[in-house]
Structure formats: C-alpha cells, structure tokens
Chains A and B, each alone.
Chain A
Amino acid sequence: MMVSLNLECMERSGCKPMHQVTSEGITKTYDKGKSFAVDKVTFEVDKGELFGLIGPDGAGKTSLFRILTTLLLPDEGKAAVNGYDVVTDYKKIRNVVGYMPGRFSLYPDLTVEENLNFFASVFGTTAQENYHLIKDMYSQIEPFKKRKAGNLSGGMKQKLALSCALVHRPNTLFLDEPTTGIDAVSRAELWEMLTKLKAEGITILVSTPYMDEANLCDRIALIQRGRILSIDTPSSVTRKYKGKLYAAKSQSMYRLLEEIRKYDQTQDCYAFGDSLHFTLKDDSGNGIESLSDFLTASTHFSFDLREIEPTIEDCFIGLLRE
C-alpha cells in the first residue's frame, strides 16, 4: 500500500518518496476568510528529520499543526503525512502520528501511570511494548507514578505528555510548543530527548517561540503572520543574513539605544540580551566609524561597538524588516 502510493507520487510529480510530511500552499482563514492563520505555506519534512517551526505567538504554528494532524481542514492547498492526504486519509494518519498539543492535555484527575496506560490502550498497545522509547523520560517521572497528573510540575507534565504521545511508537511526532512555560533544565532535557527519538528514526516536527532552540533542529522554518519567511538549516539561515550586524554595549544602555536610533544612518536598533544589536544603511565598513564619531560627539560616556555573527533571532528580525 505504502509502496504503491509512493510510486504513484513519483510518477505524478516527481516528488521524492523521502518526504514524510508535505505541505503545498496550505491556507487557513478565520472569520469567514478575513484573517489568515496560515497563508500559502509550502514545505517538506524528510524522513527522520527534526524540523522546527519557529515563530512568535499567533504566527500560525498551532493552526498549521492542527491541519497536519487532521484536526482542521485547510481552506486551500494539499498536505500529506506518511504519504496519506490530511483530508481524505485522515483516519490512516491518526494511526501513525503522535501529537502533543500546546496546552497540557492529559487527565489531571488520573495518575501518571493511569494516563500512560490509557493512551496506550487507545492506540491498541501497552506501555510495556514500546517502553524502550519512553524509558529515559518516563523513568524520571516514574517515582511519581501514583501521583495525579494535575499535581505534577510543568516540566514533569510535559515529560508525561510526551511519553503519552510516544507510547504507540508513532513514525511522525508533532510537538506544539513543548517547551513553553517550563524551566530551563527541563527544556534542555526535552531537547535531548528529541535528539534521541530522531536517532530512533522518528520524524519530528516541533514548534517553538524560542529562537535559541532553533539551532537544535536539522532544519527550521521561520514563520510570521501565517507566512513562512525562510526554510533552511539553522546555519544557512544565519549565513544568509543580509548585511552586517553590530553589537553595542555601554554603562547606560537606554541612552545608547536612543543615541544610536537618532543617528541618521541607523537602519534598525533593538535590545538583545545585555547588549544592543543594530544594522546600518551603509554596509561598506566606514559606517561603524562614522557612528562611533557621532556617539563620541554627542555623548560623554564610554561605549563598545563591534561586528558580530547574527543569531536566528537577528535573522528573524531581519526577515521581518524586508
């Protein structure tokens, strides 16, 4: 069945059978077509790839995930998971994917163990059958297996939710903002887990508003207002950054921000961590010296300017500017 589907796919459009998830011009509108949640989104995810959907809240990540997991019907476009169409073959998709919604979606009044066993049974399997997949993660919450899921900490809730989404050994995993609202240690542990699952051959789509997590993905799609701004490996995305990026530091950051923004050759300046990032209209190399002169003339405090390598977030901001 699978083979014939893939052959058909190759004959028709020459697409590679490697793609585990495809989306062609997927569009979803709300309020009777007035607002676009997802706007002509096209991308592919290869088998065994860890693919990140990076964008702020309201960018359309959840809507796109819901379309791919067959929960919503797209208004336009075609999408497939595991070779199955999301509209016509939705039942088949539901057998082979694992889905973890953005909101905690387990039964708070059932214990950790009961939740896991329940979701295993729903998929016609048992927690024991695929225990090796969830072992690393579940062993961390196993001491609390008799505790109600509602009483777990945020990080543990996510680990349990991921365990439940994995218990039937899906070949494709959709994780909608799994690291939102949990502590830094749990975040790191969750990403480590995703890398391990990838090694098991599971295709993973993960969405996140945190740009710093993008580097942990094989490829990323930057998404804003329902549109994909760029799709590439994290390193290519930063390499493709147009122009030069500078960082500035001083004792008085707010004054510095004001002054740099006042400078007529400044293209963009924004706070980034403990420094300022900015770009100039003149990228020839003299621009930074002119700015330095301008700042020395107008202020009386010391500052430090230098060129830096852009991060994913800088790229995102750069793409938004275009």
Chain B
Amino acid sequence: MKSMAAKQLSALVGKEFRQMLRDRKSLFMLVGVPVMQIVIFGFALTNEITHAKILVEDYSRDPVTQRIVDKIQASTYFDVEEGSLMPDALNVAFRKGQIKLAVVFPVNFGSSLLHLHRADVQIIADASDPNTAVTLTKYLSSIIADYQMELDRTSKAPLQIEPEVTMLYNPELKGAPTFVPGVVAFVIFLICIGMTSISVVKEKELGTMEVLLVSPLRPALFLMAKGLPYLAVSLLNLIIVLLMSVFLLDMPIRGSIVLLLAESVIFIVCALAIGMVVSITSKTQQDAFMNGQLNMMAPAYLLTGFLFPVENMPLPLRLLANLVPSRWYYIIVKDIMLKGMGLQSIWKESLVLVGMTVVLLWVNTRILKVRLQ
C-alpha cells in the first residue's frame, strides 16, 4: 500500500510538472513577474510617518532635556519611551524592532548648552528602512532646531545644539534594502497563491476530477502532488530574486542563508495552501483568478508593511494585517537579510507562519470533497 502511494505520488507529480512546463506562457509569467516587480520597485516611495516609537536615553536629566523630550512627545510623529540607561538597552531595542529612532542626551547637556552655548545630541535611526529613517531624523532635527530658536530669543549669545546622526544597519541609506524583502514577500505571496489557485479547479473544469475521484487516490496525496511542483518553482523564483538583489542591487544577506531558505519554504507552503483553498472553493478558473489574485492583491500590497508601516494603521487594520502571512515573512526576511539575526530573534514570527501553514493545510484536507458538489 505504501509503495502504491509512492507510485501514485510520483505519477501525479510527474504529470503536474509536465503540464506546468508545457504551459510556456504561464511559466514565463510565473518567473517573469517577480523579476519585473523587483526592477519596478527600485523607485522608492516616500510616506509620512506618525507615532514612531522613539527611545530617549537622557543621561543629563535637566530642565533643558526635559523640555526637548516634552516637545518630542507633543508632536504626533513620535511616541516617547524613556530609556533605562542600561548600556545595551538601545541596541537590543533596535534589533528587536521595538523602536525606529533613539535620541541620546549626554551628561551635562543642559549646563553645557547654557554655559558653553553649545551641546551635542546623538540621533540613531534604524535605516534598514531608509525612507522612514531619513524622514524621522528630519522631524526630530527640526523639533530640536525649533527649541534652539526659542532659547535664542532669550539668550545673549547664540546657542548651538549639534545633532550627531547615526544610521544603523544601512549607513549609506540604500533604497534597495527596504524594498527587496518587501517585494520578495509580496511577489512570492501572490505568485504562489496564483499558481495553486487554478490547480484544482482546472481539474474540475476539465472533468478529470470526476475520473480521479473514482479511483483509489487519496485526497491528501492529490493535494500534495499539486503543491510540490509549485514549491519547486517558487523556490527557484526566490533564488533568482535573491541573486538579483545581491548582485544587481548590492543587497546584503547578513544572516544565515539556510535559515532564510527554510523560512521561505514555510512561507511558500503557506501561500500555496491559501491558493489551494481558493481553488477548491471556486467553481471556475475565472472565479479562482478573481478570488486568488484580485482579492488578495490589496491586502498583500497594503498590509505586508513594506509600503506603509503597519504600526501607523488603525487598530482594525492592524489586526487584519496580522492575518496576512506576508507581513510576518517580511519581518523575517528583513531581520535575516539586513540585521543578520538568527532564529532566536524571529522565532515568534516563524511560529506564527508555521501555525498558519498547519491550519491552512488542515483546512485543505477538510474542504476537498470526496464527491461531486
């Protein structure tokens, strides 16, 4: 019986591969679209940011720094978090993605400004998203400059606050690092859904489903065979996109490639499973295309988080975004590629992805009918 299942599986997988490779037009689309997207998204997009988390490490704790922190707090751009002044707290907060920006007031900031008429302040930004980093740094600098002008009016000598800006992770502020993980997540997500969303419904339309049902073939085996060839193509797709990112866009892969590929396999299986659900529940290939591509496009585009930061969205949208697998994968890819982080930092996101995948696969085996209708 086991060898029969193996035989059936290899026959099915072989058949799926043949059909896939013979459909040249679709195959070209499957591989061509991600490549195109990567190129198109080379143009970075600017966007306004509000309520960014900012960490204040105030070693001075005087009326001047208090006044500046109040001003930062008063603006809608920032939500202030008081720093613990622990040596490594700042680094940890950045690596965990808890903050976008940090401002450090050195000891005696206020007295230095009042007596020496000049003081240094350090601004540190997470530049793995360079647009956000630059925008936030500008906001912060202008708040500080405003305050400096206020003081100037009452002071005899001109005052000067010197901001010292550090861009973390991406000091050259390259555009590529931000869009590559996003496009990888977004494009792979949609392509995978698209691939499997027509796979089952195609058999229904052809009438071959009827013949396959009246056979000893098990539904789970059927679904597995449907997915495997597309998993292979998607991995190939991903590798092409990554190679392009590294060699064409000078994008680093700082973390483990093995981990990145492993996470990608989970994500791809997850997306393929979504497509499969769409396919099983659709009546025609057109239906499947509508449900799979058009309806998934907007959530994937908006809620993955690579164009618009999810943190700024209203609560219902933020909750909805949590249901979009590409959002979690985006975080994972960003952390592995740009921040060089390991599994210990992204295990939560990975767990979410694994959970989603398991649930989706289970749903698939439940909804695949053993009869017509």
Asked whether A72 lies within 8 Å of B372 as measured between CB atoms, the reply is yes
Of all chain B residues, which has the CB nearest A91?
B216
CA distance A105 to B214 in the complex (A): 12
Flag if A124 contacts B4 (CB, 8 Å). Answer: yes
* A165 CB, nearest partner CB in chain B, Å: 8
B213/A107 in contact, CB under 8 A: no
Quick one: given A71-B213, A122-B212, are A105 and B207 in contact (CB under 8 Å)? yes
Q: Out of B15, B210, B216, which one reaches A107, CB within 8 Å?
A: B15
A-side contacts of B206, CB under 8 Å: 105, 107-108
Residue A137 at the B interface, CB < 8 A?
Answer: no
Is A94 at the interface (CB under 8 A from chain B)?
Answer: yes
**Cβ A69 vs Cβ B15 within 8 A:** no
Indicate whether B154 reaches chain A with its CB closer than 8 angstroms: no
Interface size, A (range)? 20 to 34
Q: Is the CB of A118 within 8 A of B211?
A: no
Among B18, B207, B216, the one with the most A-chain Cβ atoms within 10 Å of its Cβ is B216
Interface residue count for B (Cβ, 8 Å)?
27
- Are the C-beta atoms of B214 and A118 separated by less than 8 Å? no
Q: Is A303 an interface residue (CB 8 A)?
A: no
Inter-chain contact B372/A66, CB cutoff 8 Å: yes
Structural contact, A71 and B214, CB atoms closer than 8 A: yes
B7 CB-CB contact with A under 8 Å = yes
List residues of chain B with CB within 8 A of the CB of A119: 211, 215
At the interface, yes or no: B370 with Cβ under 8 Å from chain A?
yes
Indicate if A263 sits at the interface (CB-CB under 8 A).
Answer: no
Main secondary structure on B side of the interface with A? helix
A72-B371 Cα distance, complex, nearest whole Å:
6
The reply to whether B7 and A106 contact each other, CB–CB distance below 8 Å, is: no
CB of A71 to closest CB in B, whole Å? 5
Shortest CB–CB separation between residue B88 and chain A, in angstroms? 60
B22 adjacent to chain A (CB < 8 Å): yes
Query: What residues on A are CB-neighbors of B372 within 8 Å?
Result: 66, 71-72
CB distance from A149 to the nearest CB of B (A): 11
**Contact flags A20-47 to B (C-beta < 8 A → 1, else 0):** 0000000000000000000000000000
A-side contacts of B213, CB under 8 Å: 70-71, 94
A90 near B370: Cβ-Cβ < 8 Å: yes
* B178-225 contacts to A (CB < 8 Å): 206-208, 210-217
Q: Which of A96-104, A208-216, A234-242, A284-292 contacts B (4 or more CB under 8 A)?
A: A96-104
With A71-B214, A94-B214 known as contacts, the answer to whether A122 contacts B12 (CB < 8 A) is yes
Contacts of A106 in B (CB 8 A): 208, 211
Answer yes or no: B23 CB below 8 A from chain A CBs: yes
Given A121-B10, A122-B212, A124-B8, do A72 and B207 touch, yes or no (CB 8 Å)?
A: no
Complex alpha-carbon distance, A91 and B370, angstroms: 10
Contact of A71 among B4, B8, B210, B217 (CB under 8 A): B210
Question: Is B85 interfacial (CB 8 A cutoff)?
Answer: no
| Smallest Cβ-Cβ distance to A115: which chain B residue | B15
Whether A97 lies near B208 (C-beta < 8 A) is: no
Give the distance to chain B from A191, nearest Cβ to Cβ, in Å.
22
Indicate if A95 sits at the interface (CB-CB under 8 A): yes
Q: In A175-233, which residues have CB < 8 Å from any B CB?
A: none
B295 contacts the other chain (CB 8 A): no
Give every chain A residue within 8 A of B8 (Cβ-Cβ). Answer: 121-122, 124
Q: Which residue of chain A is the closest to B15 with respect to CB atoms?
A: A118
Q: What is the bound-complex CA distance between A99 and B212, given in angstroms?
A: 10
Q: Is A89 an interface residue when CB atoms closer than 8 A count as contact? A: no
Query: Nearest chain-B residue to A164 (Cβ)?
Result: B211
Query: For residue B370, which residues in chain A have a CB less than 8 angstroms away from its CB?
Result: 90
Given contacts A69-B214, A124-B8, contact A107 B208 (CB under 8 A): yes
A117 to B15, CA, bound (A): 10
Asked if A136 lies at the interface with its beta carbon under 8 angstroms from chain B, I say no
Q: How far is the CB of B219 from chain A (nearest CB, A)?
A: 11
A189 to B203 CA separation, bound complex (whole angstroms): 29
Chain B, 152-170, CB within 8 A of any chain A CB: none
| C-alpha spacing A109/B21, complex, angstroms | 10
Considering only residues 2-56 of chain B, those with a C-beta below 8 Å from chain A are: 4, 7-8, 10-12, 14-15, 18-19, 22-23
Interface membership of B344, Cβ < 8 A: no
Q: Can you list 18 A-B contacts with CB-CB less than 8 angstroms, sorted by A residue number?
A: A70-B213, A70-B371, A72-B371, A72-B372, A72-B373, A94-B213, A101-B210, A105-B210, A106-B211, A107-B19, A109-B18, A117-B11, A119-B211, A119-B215, A121-B10, A121-B12, A124-B4, A164-B211
Residues of A within 8 A of B (CB): 66, 69-73, 90-91, 94-95, 97, 99-101, 103-110, 114, 117-119, 121-124, 164-165
The 7 closest A-B CB pairs, nearest first, are A121-B11, A105-B207, A124-B4, A99-B214, A103-B207, A71-B372, A69-B214
